[in-house]
Structure 1
């Protein structure tokens, strides 16, 4: 089984050995601060090409100063990072989705030994990085935390948690990472922890008092109004209090964009609401998306019916992923318009197409799943 060669162009993810000569450039003669100011105005999609010009260009493109300058100038761009599981291959694969005339997934490296990749991990986005938290490796839970630096697309090992976790709930509030559950022992004193990226340390929180087994393996959490919602409970970091949700979440795919909660069922019905207490409302204007999901490739069987695989934000837009009948991964990016006078939210499909195709032998058993999708401003 291989991926479409038009998608997996590995030369774009590694430094070409054929680039041996340093090209002269006007930027090479400028002071670093001035050169960074110029490079900050260049689209990030061109940074790879710039890094091939010279060692100085490469150093500046990969520097933290470039990210800080782009942030101060309001020039950061949303990049969508995606992790795919393509079985029978046991190694997850990482990609970046670019906004371009030809949308495609660009491969990035996976952090761990490919023979023992983590599964059943959780992830959060904080500033310019993606933290992959816990999981199952070498047949046991792990306390490992890995950080993908999205400025340079390189991985490093972040400080480990106080306890190993499998499918913990994780979220970011006030610049700190909160992690709950996933422990082997439900009564573990480290059941809830918080990570401070400034001090690079984990601290233990008072755990949910009436927790049960269903509270322990969550996998995903949502942040709304500075509270973390996971499963049937929520946590408020501002006053260190726990509570139970008024009703359980029935939708599997949810994300928060500009303070509003969006959800999607497996057939592409997109809904929204402003708080936990309110009812879901249909996002208007997406009949084409729903028709796409309701169509079947085979009238004799629903085996090949298209199903949503993941929902995520892409900046202020929303993206829906699904797996097609030929094991190709499709994506639709949808812009959202809030019409307050009508009390409605309307969606417009900006584009919809296959972003990767999995080639496989006839009648081979293949399973494709989007493990996570995360939008990072860099």
Structure 2
């Protein structure tokens, strides 16, 4: 080896270009890939390990978001007894037919009482009950429809409150012991760490079992299972609080544009502004009455309403909303309504419950 060669600094390692024959910088290559429709991503990921890695990367998701190329997809989790493991689906919207398409489920997801939140490109399944309360947290990566575990909570939970504010996941309640010092925790996806919060001082047994969680005005609200009373945590000032019980407790909730929508189990859809207590009926939705409603979800600026038919079929209706300020009313319009999945069998009855539904942009 020559002396001059020995004194030369080592060459810097560079990552291979997405397109080896291209003279464009990798950022340009990434922008080109981001323009590819999501329906082609599965085939594109098979081209090479490099492509598969890029399509699952945070940079690719951010690039698609900046270019306005993300699409909204509705994910649904169902319990279909006697199947012990919850099943996951993606709503395929087509001109002549809307239907739930199965996607891989996590084989050891708890059977009941998990909490769910959607954040960025994923859905987190938090705790649940399977023989014991689970501290595990699962993440469904909606970019690739694959699962992985993330760091567990410090305590097992079932029927806990869970909500997202400013990119962090706040979880409280659902503990075996009401007096647990870890009764409330917050998860930071960026650092992949859990931090214990100061628990609510005046909590009682009813506060430990949560029926529904909703996020309004930068607060995580919990609806307790027994009385339907509302209490909340405000991350901005680190304080707990309580709200007066509304005149009518709803079974399911959905928040859109600072308006809280509720629905009972027989299809009556109501609304109120965040600071009001009195519910008002959403006009124009008489066709939903006496449906066995099981879940509400925001979806593309509209509301998705799910109910279960007598034959084990799952129905969905998409409702657009119009607020008429001069009348002080909100009117709903059913854009479409149909059975999106059927679990009826001739000799066995399948009990179906809608555990969760959420829209995710990927």
Secondary structure in structure 2 of the residue aligned to 1:148: strand
**Correspondence 1:85 to 2:79:** yes
Q: List alignment gaps of at least 5 residues for structure 1.
A: 1-26, 294-305
Aligned to 2:350: 366
Of structures 1 and 2, the one scoring higher in RCO (CA 8 A, sep 6+) is 1
Aligned-pair distance for 1:161? 0.7
Aligned to 2:162: 170
Alignment of 1:1-378 (within 5 A): 30=22, 32-51=26-45, 58-101=52-95, 102-113=97-108, 117-137=110-130, 139-231=131-223, 232=229, 233-247=231-245, 250-290=249-289, 293=290, 306-362=291-347, 364-378=348-362
1:287 to 1:92, Cα distance in 2 relative to 1, 3 A: same
CA contact (8 A) 1:121 1:219 kept: no
1:120 to 1:128, Cα distance in 2 relative to 1, 3 A: same
Segment of structure 1 superposing worse, 228-237 or 340-349: 340-349
Output one character per residue of 1:160-180: Cα deviation in whole Å (capped at 9) or x when no partner: 111111111111112111111
Q: TM-score, normalised by structure 1?
A: 0.82
CA contact (8 A) 1:122 1:220 kept: no
- Structure 2 Cα separation of the partners of residues 348 and 35 of structure 1: 43
Aligned-pair distance for 1:186? 0.8
What number of residue pairs does the alignment pair up? 335
Aligned-pair distance for 1:49? 4.6
Output one character per residue of 1:123-159: Cα deviation in whole Å (capped at 9) or x when no partner: 111111111111112x111111111111111111111
Q: TM-score, normalised by structure 2?
A: 0.86
Aligned-pair distance for 1:56? 6.0
Output one character per residue of 1:55-84: Cα deviation in whole Å (capped at 9) or x when no partner: 665454434333111111223221111111
Aligned-pair distance for 1:322? 0.8
Secondary structure in structure 1 of the residue aligned to 2:149: strand
